[in-house]
Amino acid sequence: MITISLCMIVKNEEKILARCLDSVADLCEEIIIVDTGSTDRTKDIAGKYTDRIFDFPWIDDFSAARNFAFSKATQEYIYSADADEVLDEENRQRFRVMKEAMLPEIEIVQMKYANQMRFGTVYNFDEEYRPKLFKRLREFVWTEPIHETVRLDPVVYDSDVVIMHLPESSHAKRDLANFHRHVSEGYRLPRRLHNMYARELLMAGDQEDLARASVFFQQSAADENRSGDEMLEAYCVVARAARLDKDMRAFCKYTSKALAMGACSEICCELGMFYEEAEDYEEAALWYYNAVYETQPALQRACGGEIGLEGLIRCYQALGCREQAENYRRDLERRRSEI
């Protein structure tokens, strides 16, 4: 059976820390809590479960804090958890079975992260795999009988453990402020973070967040070293910001650029909202239809489903076309039942 170090970074989690630790503490041989500046009883609560509590000055870098926590681990594997995660009894048992049967060559275990779409969290799926358990020291192995090479790709196991994500509130404002701070200091977002920043803005950002991010994404849209996908993400953000700011020149510019690339559900929804606000319901319905049935989402899955269909329902109700509105309502209900 493998041994596990639980590693957590926390700040002001007195309301939920015990709930998390109660669900996982007895599954781990070691608990490491790294506090990044709590002003409540977080460390007192953590002290009931472990004496391995460390302070780490917050430097606006989650990776730095997690690396520090991992550096304190001493067991074979490291389980990385957040305070708003909970394992119910069924998944505690799955975790225990997995721990007892773990093959030594497995280096990363993925677990299903569930309940993601509550509280404005910025995910397109309510359940998806995330890497959660990591082998602390990697063993390099030679492979192939001739032209031998060292295996570089980790051995990953997709487990059946489901972690419930139960946040007290949305972290979007915190995350968006962090994104803005880093790009303002000249940090070039890699492709993954570019996508996440754009997605978080569309799914959880308000007009102020979008306006503040608009300059960065305008620069990104003009950056020849960005991929086509990144440019389309930038167009989506800037078009949304321009519509909310009623900057029609910028709105036309970036929606046109996106349409020239082949469009996406988000841009079609933006055009639908623009024409709906102008009370041109026929034109708005055309773009909402394109969002749902003729294009694919680039960032926000709901634009190709719920958001577009709700727009179609509103438009056909405004036009007095009750039968068509009802048809789209049935499609909306069907899709919701399948989630």
- Interval 177-197: pLDDT, tens: 999 999 999 999 999 999 999
Is residue 106 classed as helix, strand or coil in its secondary structure? coil
Residues 186, 323 within the same domain: yes
Predicted confidence (pLDDT) at residue 123 exceeds the cutoff of 70: no
pLDDT tops 60 at residue 237 = yes
Mark whether 148 and 232 lie in a shared domain: no
Q: Which of 147, 165, 183 is the last residue of a domain?
A: 165
Q: How far is CA 255 from CA 11, 114, 249, in A?
A: 41, 34, 10
User: Strand 30-35's sheet: what is its strand order?
Assistant: 53-55, 30-35, 4-10, 77-80, 127-135, 108-114, 156-165, 85-86
Alpha-carbon torsion, ordered 45, 51, 55, 56, to 10 deg: -110
Residue 334 confidence (pLDDT): 94
Instruction: Report the C-alpha gap between 29 and 193 in whole angstroms.
Output: 34
| Token reading at 99 | 């721990």
The answer on 96 and 71 residing in a single domain is yes
Do 212 and 144 fall into the same domain? no
Q: Are residues 150 and 177 in the same domain?
A: no
Residue 189 CA from chain centroid, whole number: 16
The last residue of one of the domains, among 131, 165, 199, is 165
Q: How confident is the model at residue 126 (pLDDT cuts 50, 70, 90)?
A: low
The verdict on 133 and 226 lying in the same domain is no
Is residue 247's pLDDT more than 60?
A: yes
Q: Do residue 229 and residue 314 come from a single domain?
A: yes
**45 and 158, same structural domain?**
yes
CATH of residue 295's domain is 1.25.40.10
Q: Taking a C-beta distance cutoff of 8 angstroms, is the pair 285, 316 a contact?
A: yes
Q: Do 73 and 158 have their domain in common?
A: yes
Structure confidence at residue 6 (pLDDT): 98
Cα Rg of the chain (Å, integer) = 24
Q: Any idea what the Cα angle at residue 81 is, between residues 77 and 85, rounded to 5°?
A: 140
Straight-line distance from the first to the last Cα atom of the chain, in angstroms, rounded to the nearest whole number: 37
Whether the predicted pLDDT of 286 surpasses 70 = yes
Query: By residue range, what is the domain housing residue 196?
Result: 172-338
pLDDT, mean of residues 117-134: 73
| Res 173 pLDDT > 90 | no
144 by DSSP, 3-state: which?
Answer: coil
- Among the residue ranges 37-41, 159-163, 172-176, the one predicted with the least confidence is 172-176
Name the residue with tokens 């609560």: 45
pLDDT band at 117 (very low <50, low <70, confident <90, very high): low
How many domains does the chain fold into? Answer: 2
> In the beta sheet, which residues pair with residue 130?
111
pLDDT value of residue 338: 81
Same domain, 158 and 178: no
Over pLDDT 90: what percentage of the chain? Answer: 86
**Which CATH number goes with the domain that contains 14?**
3.90.550.10
Tell me what the pLDDT averaged over the chain comes to. 93
Same domain, 138 and 257: no
Q: Are residues 178 and 161 in the same domain?
A: no
What's the confidence (pLDDT) of residue 114?
86
pTM over the 0.85 mark: no
Cα–Cα distances in Å, from 257 out to 111, 199, 230, 264, 286?
Answer: 39, 19, 13, 11, 19
